[in-house]
C-alpha cells in the first residue's frame, strides 16, 4: 500500500495515511475533463500528449513563461538551483514549483520523526554539504572553528579505523541551507502549489501544470511554459509492509502499529509510564536510530522497555563475493558507513557504473546495495548490554499474520525453526520509503504521455547527464534527479553529494546548450569567495 508523495504536507501526520488528492490538488475534473474556458484541464488536454499554445489558451489556463522550472522544491531542487545561480542564471529565469515552504522541510520532518532531531548527527560525511558546492570548508572544519575544538578534525583524521566516521549535526546542516537559500534568493523563485502534470509543447519545451494553493488564484490551474524542466520530487510515497497495512486498516489502528516516518513520539512517552514491549521491523539506519532512542530513554529514565527486533534478512557475519570485497555484519545488521561504498561518488565504482547497462547494472546494484547501517561504537555497546541483560532480542523471519489479543499485537513470525508468536504493545515499521514511481501522479503521467521509461531497477530512466530519456521536446530538455532515478548510471543519487553530482551534470549540460555559463576555474574561485563572504550570488 502506498500513500501520497512524501512531503506533500508533512507537518500533519495524517498526510502519510491519506490516499486522496491533497487539498491543494483538489478533486480531478469528473471524467471527460472540465469545460473549455473554465481554467481547468479539459478532456482534450488530458488525452493529448503534445499540447499547442492554443489548446491551453482554449482551456482558459493562464500561462507564465519560465525558461527553467524545477519541480519539487526539496534538497534536489535546491542544489540544482544553487549550481545554476553560481553558473550565472538570474532568479527571474528560474521557477521552483513546490508544496514546501523551504527546501529542507521534508528532510527535516523525516529525520526528526525517525529520531534525528537537530542536535543529533545525520549519516553523510563531512564534505557532503548541500549548501556549498565546493564542500570546503567541510562540516568538520566549520564545527571545529565555531565550537573552538579540534575534536572533529581529529575524528576526520583517524576515521574510520580508530573512530566512527565524522557526520555533521542536523541543525548545522539546516542552518547552512538557510544561509545559502537566502544568499541565492531561493525564496524569490518559489511558487507554491501541487504540480499536476508536465506535457510536451508543440514547437518545443513543456507545459507544467500547477494547482496553486486554494484561494490564491482565480483559476484552478496555472501553466508554466518552460524550455527546461527539472524533476526532483523525492520519494514517491510511504510503503508499509503489507501485513502491517492490513492490520492498520482492519483495526483502524494507526497508533499501535506505526511507520518510523510518521510521528510516533507517543510510544516513547508511553514507555516512560509503564513497562512496554516494542517490536521493531527493519535493519537500516532508521531502525538503528529508533533503537538508539529506545535504548537511550531506557538508560536515561531507568525504564524497563523490552525490544524485539525482527530482521527479514539476518546478517550474522561479514559477507560478499570474495575475501577482498566483503561488508561487515553481525547480530542481524549489515554494516557500511554510507548507503554505498564511497567510490560510487567519485571513484572506480562511479566510473564502472557509467559503463554498465541493463541486467549488468541491476546486478551491480544488488551486489553493493541492500539495507545497511553504519557501525557506531555507541550503538554496539548499548545493544550488547541489551542482549546480555535480555531486554533486547533479535529474530530472523517474516510475519505471516497479525492479530489483536488482550490489547497486545501478536505477530506470527515464520522463522527457519518454524512459526513463533511475538506479543508487543507497539510495532514500529522501519522498512522504508520504497513506493513505485507510478504511485506519483506526475511521474505516472510522464510514463503514459511524456515518453519517459524505466531503468533496470524500475525507476525513471535517465541519461548520464540526468536527462530523462524519451522526454525530449525540440530544444527543450527534461532532467530528473534524486530517489526516483535510482538504478541509473550513478548510484548515489539519493544523497546530498549525489544530488550535487547530478546538479553539476545538469548545469554542464545546460551550459553546453547555452542556458548558463560553465563553472570553470575562475568562476568557481570567484563564486567561492562570494559564498565565503555570504555575498548575494
Ligand atoms: C530519514 C532520512 C535521512 C537521510 N539522511 C541523509 C544523510 O544523512 N545524508 C544524505 O546525503 N542523504 C540523506 N538522505 C537522503 C536524501 O539526501 C534526502 O532524502 C533528500 O532530502 C532528498 O532530496 P529530494 O529533493 O530528492 O527530496 P525531498 O527533499 O523530499 O524534496 C522533494 C519534495 O518534492 C515535493 N513534491 C513531490 N511531488 C510534488 C508535486 N507534485 N508538486 C509539488 N511538490 C511536490 C514534496 O514536498 C517533496 O518533499 C536521507 C533521507 C531520509 C529519508
d(Cα 242, Cα 1) in Å, to the nearest integer? 7
d(Cα 197, Cα 195) in Å, to the nearest integer? 6
Q: Please tell me the residue having the least CA distance from ligand 1 atom 49.
A: 7
Interval between CA 75 and ligand 1 midpoint (Å): 6
The pLDDT of residue 28: 53
Give per-residue pLDDT as tens, 284-332. 999 999 999 999 999 999 999 999 999 999 999 888 877 777 889 999 9
The pLDDT of residue 216: 81
Interval between CA 74 and ligand 1 midpoint (Å): 6
**Higher pLDDT, residue 24 or 103:** 103
Q: Please tell me the residue having the least CA distance from ligand 1 atom 8.
A: 123
Peptide bond into 204 cis (omega under 30): no
Cα four-point dihedral sign 487, 283, 263, 143: negative
- Of 132, 67, 198, which is closest to residue 516 (Cα–Cα)? 67
d(Cα 34, Cα 38) in Å, to the nearest integer? 7
Distances (CA, A) of 35 to 31, 46, 48, 202, 217: 11, 12, 15, 22, 18
Q: What is the CA radius of gyration of the chain?
A: 24
Give per-residue pLDDT as tens, 147-185. 999 999 999 999 999 999 999 999 999 999 999 999 999
Check if 98 has its Cβ closer than 6 Å to any atom of ligand 1: yes
Q: Please tell me the residue having the least CA distance from ligand 1 atom 27.
A: 234
Check if 72 has its Cβ closer than 6 Å to any atom of ligand 1: yes
Check if 386 has its Cβ closer than 6 Å to any atom of ligand 1: no
Which of 25, 495, 506 for a ligand 1 pocket mutation test, highest count of atoms within 8 Å of Cβ? 495
pLDDT band at 404 (very low <50, low <70, confident <90, very high): very high
**What are the respective helix, strand and coil percentages of the chain, to the nearest 5?**
35, 25, 40
d(Cα 458, Cα 260) in Å, to the nearest integer? 25
Which of 494, 501, 503 for a ligand 1 pocket mutation test, highest count of atoms within 8 Å of Cβ? 494
Please identify which residue in the block is written with the cell numbers 520504497.
434
* Ranges 186-195, 213-222, 395-404, 478-487: which has the least confidence: 213-222
Check if 115 has its Cβ closer than 6 Å to any atom of ligand 1: no
The pLDDT of residue 6: 56
Round the average pLDDT of the chain to a whole number and report it.
92
Q: Where are the alpha helices (DSSP H) in 254-399?
A: 265-271, 285-301, 348-355, 358-368, 377-389
The pLDDT of residue 240: 81
Give per-residue pLDDT as tens, 105-138. 999 999 999 999 999 999 999 999 999 999 999 9
Q: Which helix (DSSP H) or strand (DSSP E) does residue 333 occupy?
A: strand 333-335
Check if 371 has its Cβ closer than 6 Å to any atom of ligand 1: no
Q: Please tell me the residue having the least CA distance from ligand 1 atom 47.
A: 7
Q: State mean pLDDT over 463-480.
A: 98
Claim: this prediction has a pTM higher than 0.85 = yes
Sheet containing strand 426-429, strands side by side: 257-259, 426-429, 277-281, 306-311, 392-396
CA dihedral 150, 152, 153, 158 (to 10 degrees): 120
Q: Give the position, in ligand 1's atom list, of the atom nearest the Cα of 433.
A: 53
- Of 365, 367, 285, which is closest to residue 326 (Cα–Cα)? 367
**pLDDT over threshold 60, residue 22:** no
The pLDDT of residue 18: 31
The pLDDT of residue 9: 47
Amino acid at each position: 500500500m502506498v500513500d501520497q508523495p512524501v512531503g506533500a504536507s508533512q507537518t500533519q501526520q495524517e498526510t502519510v495515511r491519506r490516499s486522496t488528492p491533497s487539498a491543494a490538488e483538489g478533486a480531478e475534473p469528473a471524467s471527460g475533463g472540465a469545460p473549455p474556458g473554465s481554467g481547468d484541464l479539459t478532456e482534450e488536454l488530458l488525452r493529448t500528449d503534445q499540447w499547442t499554445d492554443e489548446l491551453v489558451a482554449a482551456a482558459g489556463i493562464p500561462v507564465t513563461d519560465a525558461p527553467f522550472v524545477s519541480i519539487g522544491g526539496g534538497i534536489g531542487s535546491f542544489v540544482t538551483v544553487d549550481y545554476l545561480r553560481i553558473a550565472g542564471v538570474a532568479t527571474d529565469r528560474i521557477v521552483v514549483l513546490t508544496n514546501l515552504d523551504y527546501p529542507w522541510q521534508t528532510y527535516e520532518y523525516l529525520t526528526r520523526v525517525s529520531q534525528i532531531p537537530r542536535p543529533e548527527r545525520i549519516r553523510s560525511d563531512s564534505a557532503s554539504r548541500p549548501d556549498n558546492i565546493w564542500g570546503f570548508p567541510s562540516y568538520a572544519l566549520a564545527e571545529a572553528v565555531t565550537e573552538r575544538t579540534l575534536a572533529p578534525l581529529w575524528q576526520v583524521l583517524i576515521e574510520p579505523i580508530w573512530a566512527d566516521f565524522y557526520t555533521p549535526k542536523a541543525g548545522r546542516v539546516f542552518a547552512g541551507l538557510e544561509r545559502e537559500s537566502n544568499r541565492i534568493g531561493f525564496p524569490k523563485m518559489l511558487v507554491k502549489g501541487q504540480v499536476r502534470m508536465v506535457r510536451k509543447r508543440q514547437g518545443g519545451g513543456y507545459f507544467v501544470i500547477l494547482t496553486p494553493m486554494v484561494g490564491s488564484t482565480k483559476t484552478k490551474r496555472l501553466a508554466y511554459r518552460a524550455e527546461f524542466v527539472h524533476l526532483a520530487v523525492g520519494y514517491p510515497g510511504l510503503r508499509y509492509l503489507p501485513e502491517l497495512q492490513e492490520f492498520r486498516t482492519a483495526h483502524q489502528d494507526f497508533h499501535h502499529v506505526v511507520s518510523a516516518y510518521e510521528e510516533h513520539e507517543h510510544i516513547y512517552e508511553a514507555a516512560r509510564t509503564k513497562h512496554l514491549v516494542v517490536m521493531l521491523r527493519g535493519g537500516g539506519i532508521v531502525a538503528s536510530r529508533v533503537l538508539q532512542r529506545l535504548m537511550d530513554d531506557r538508560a536515561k529514565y531507568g525504564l524497563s522497555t523490552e525490544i524485539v527486533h525482527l530482521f527479514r534478512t539476518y546478517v550474522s557475519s561479514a559477507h560478499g563475493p570474495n575475501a577482498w570485497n566483503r561488508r561487515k555484519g553481525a547480530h542481524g545488521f549489515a554494516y557500511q558507513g554510507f548507503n554505498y561504498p564511497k567510490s560510487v561518488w567519485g571513484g572506480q565504482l562511479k566510473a564502472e557504473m557509467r559503463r554498465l547497462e541493463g541486467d549488468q547494472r541491476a546486478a551491480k546494484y544488488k551486489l553493493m546495495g541492500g539495507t545497511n547501517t553504519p557501525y557506531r561504537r555507541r550503538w554496539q555497546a548499548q545493544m550488547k548490554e541489551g542482549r546480555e541483560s535480555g531486554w533486547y532480542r533479535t529474530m530472523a523471519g517474516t510475519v505471516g499474520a497479525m492479530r489483536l489479543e488482550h490489547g497486545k499485537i501478536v505477530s506470527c513470525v515464520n522463522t527457519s525453526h518454524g512459526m513463533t508468536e511475538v506479543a508487543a504493545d507497539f510495532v514500529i515499521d522501519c522498512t522504508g520509503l520504497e513506493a513505485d514511481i507510478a504511485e506519483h501522479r506526475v511521474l505516472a503521467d510522464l510514463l503514459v504521455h511524456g515518453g519517459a521509461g524505466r531503468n533496470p531497477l524500475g525507476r525513471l530512466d535517465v541519461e548520464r547527464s540526468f536527462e530523462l530519456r524519451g522526454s525530449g521536446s525540440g530544444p527543450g530538455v527534461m532532467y530528473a534527479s534524486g530517489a526516483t532515478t535510482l538504478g541509473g548510471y550513478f548510484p548515489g543519487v539519493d544523497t546530498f553529494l549525489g544530488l550535487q553530482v547530478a546538479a553539476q551534470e545538469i548545469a554542464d549540460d545546460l551550459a553546453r546548450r547555452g542556458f548558463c555559463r560553465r563553472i570553470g576555474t575562475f568562476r568557481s574561485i570567484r563564486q567561492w569567495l562570494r559564498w565565503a563572504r555570504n555575498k548575494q550570488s
